[in-house]
Chain A
Amino acid sequence: MISIDNINIELGEFSLRDINLTIEKNEFFILMGPTGAGKTVLLEAMAGLIPVNSGHISISDRDITRLPPEKRGVTIVYQDYSLFPHLTVHDNITYGLHFHKVPRGEAKKRFDRLVDDLNLSHLLQRLPTNLSGGENQRIALARALIVNPEVLLLDEPLSALDPGFREDLRKGLKRLHENTDATFLMVTHDFSEALSLADRAAVMDGGRIKQVGGMKEIFQKPESTFVADFVGMKNLFAARFHDTKAVIDSLEIELGRSPENGPGYIAIRPEDAILSREKLTSSMRNSFKGRVTEIMDLGLFYEVGVAVEDVLFKSLITKSALFDLEVLEGSNIYLSFKSTAIHTF
């Protein structure tokens, strides 16, 4: 178990404030946040590469706050791989074994298994300089895992790769995680990556942790406008509440429940806002007539802006749905969402 206790770090103009996190042993935990949120700083502080000003970090009840990096049992994989350019792939992978007392048989077993798992056997005598990004990243993973670290830190390991490689390596990462006892802590910008790999995550911004929780919880129940915005809750409105209703300007929305502890915002994911030609009456408690104000091509999906009275909703639909519904700018359309899809905070 990793426990991070009230960490504060001052780095010139940048600072990390009041960081508290508990990560279970062998968990796959994700750190998310915009650029400059302090994710890499937090990783490097855990690895002992940046000193902390106050607070404690412990791994399996061992306080490592003041230990040098080589005594922590924490290894790191950077986005740019950071392979040693003067060493062959084989020597890169086995580098850490020089400093750990591993019996020869055991070392060989680990090496063979990692080389096999990561499909590196044909590259062992090459230098990393001429290899592809995917190959380099697999070497970096093998190098970090061969010393059996308690914690593996991954700083956006997939973001520099081509999409094809990325998919492969994502599966590889998941398999590696299942095959080792190490706790994985990974920084990423990519939501689909986060959702497919991790159970829990933290969202950071401006050197603080904004929310910690299960992946689904963060996506569906953000606790602040920042997190809601960050996870793509495009329909985010300040609202007044009475009984089971939320009121935005003059638009009344049925929540189907009384919200707890005086919220101020409602949020609906754009994929939960459904468009139709006819008013939907079934389980949809909220169905409004609106006017299409904009259609934005997002590649695989279209984001449609629908103005209901003065409130602008965003709905995410497929190309075929756009075609079937004959959605045109300026045309009228019905926008509906279930009351259970409404998140209040």
Chain B
Amino acid sequence: MIKKEPFFWITVSCGLVIMAFILIPLVQMLTAPSLSMLKETIQDKDVVRSIWLSIYTAGLAAVIAFVFGTPLAYILARSNFRGKHLVESIIDLPIVIPHPVVGIAILSVAGRGHWLGQIFSELGIRIMGSVTGIVVVLTFVGLPFYVNAVKSGFENIPPRLENVSRSLGASMFSTFARITFPLAWRSMLIGIIMCSARAISEFGAVVIVAYHPMIAPVLLYERFESYGLKYSQPVAVWLVSICLALFLILRILTLRNAKNS
């Protein structure tokens, strides 16, 4: 057998360190609570309510990203215009801004001191401490993940396919419906998963805009603050398990469809 060089062993050991770094805390957290505690926790109405709120606000954020982000992603993938790089950088901004800053920024336009806040309050829309506010924050932080995933999905579809479709008599809309969408929907689904995964994990921005109603990460934080580690662990286990299960189901659905088509 050929003797492996030291470099090989360095790469392997670095890899093992990283695996351990990620897995040990997670496994510890997942296995710490006893089954009876887990059962007790899931019967707690506050916990169920907060997990459900987390899931559906994150889902709503993903739907909003889908509706508004898809056309934008298409334009960014297909056309070159002046200021395109600027637009792309603006879309990436929510990724790099510290989370509490996002919350403060959103609150600062939602108050009565700002014309947007004035319009909202006249329409009866409340941002501070409301589900609407949570959705606004989650959309803000999740959008870049959706737009970027779908943009690269569109970029992978040769424009020539659309050209051929047009020349065969299809309008722009028919071309999108019959060619572009069927070829891009998988990347849209991945975008939706990425966007909602990012949204569901948001804490810093939400806690500033809406401490109540409580989403799961805020509840987790509150349990930790008031009762300690032992009481926050079961909530964490449920949140992580439910999210993983949801994403797994989505992935399986897409893979199965990929084989059929």
Q: Which residues of A contact B (CB under 8 A)?
A: 44, 47-49, 68-70, 72, 74-76, 78, 80, 82, 84-86, 95-96, 98-100, 143-144, 147
Surface stretch bound by A, among B41-49, B165-173, B244-252: B165-173
A70 vs B174: C-alpha distance in the bound complex, in angstroms? Answer: 11
Would you call B169 and A49 a contact (CB within 8 A)?
Answer: no
Q: Indicate if the CB atoms of B169 and A86 lie closer than 8 Å.
A: no
User: Interface SS of chain B: helix, strand, loop or mixed?
Assistant: helix
Considering the complex, give the chain A residue whose CB is closest to the CB of B159: A49
Cβ contact within 8 Å between A85 and B167: no
Q: Are B160 and A70 in contact (CB under 8 A)?
A: no
Determine the chain B residues whose CB is within 8 A of the CB of A144 once the complex forms.
Answer: 164, 167-168
- What CA separation (Å) do A3 and B167 show in the bound complex? 19
- From A70, A84, A98, A100, give the contact of B167 (CB < 8 A): A70
A-B contact count (CB 8 A): 69
* Residues of chain A within 8 A of B163, CB atoms compared: 44, 47, 49, 69, 76, 82
B169 touches A99 (CB 8 A): yes
Residues of A with C-beta under 8 A to B160: 78, 80, 82
Assess whether B261 is interfacial by the CB under 8 Å rule. Answer: yes
B83 CB-CB contact with A under 8 Å: no
> Does B229 sit within 8 A of A, measured CB to CB?
no
Once the chains are docked, how many angstroms separate the CA of A316 from the CA of B38?
89
A144 to B172 Cα, complex, angstroms = 18
Closest-by-CB residue of B relative to A50 is B163
Total number of B residues with any Cβ neighbor in A under 8 Å = 19
Is A76 a contact of B169 with CB atoms below 8 Å? no
15 A-B contact pairs sorted by A residue (CB < 8 Å): A48-B166, A49-B163, A68-B172, A70-B168, A75-B168, A78-B164, A80-B160, A82-B160, A82-B163, A95-B178, A96-B169, A98-B178, A100-B169, A147-B168, A147-B169
The answer to whether B167 and A47 have CB atoms under 8 Å apart is yes
Q: Which residues of B contact A86 (CB under 8 A)?
A: 182-183, 261
Asked if B161 is an interface residue, CB under 8 A from chain A, the answer is yes
Q: Are B164 and A68 in contact (CB under 8 A)?
A: no
B166 and A95 within 8 A (CB): no
Closest A residue by C-beta to B160:
A82
Q: Please determine whether A75 and B167 come into contact, CB atoms closer than 8 angstroms.
A: yes
- Which of B167, B170, B182, B183 lies at the interface centre, i.e. has the most chain A CB atoms within 10 A of its CB? B167
| B167 engages A74 (CB within 8 Å) | yes
Q: Contact between B158 and A82 (Cβ–Cβ < 8 Å)?
A: yes
Which of A44, A49, A82, A99 makes the CB contact (< 8 A) with B174?
A: A99
Extra inter-chain contacts (6) besides given A70-B169, A143-B168, CB under 8 Å: A72-B167, A82-B160, A82-B164, A86-B182, A95-B168, A143-B164
In the complex, A299→B196 CA distance in Å? 62
Q: With a CB–CB cut-off of 8 A, which chain A residues contact B169? A: 70, 96, 98-100, 147
Q: Which residue of B lies closest to A155 (CB)?
A: B160
> Which B residues are CB-close (under 8 A) to A82?
158, 160-161, 163-164
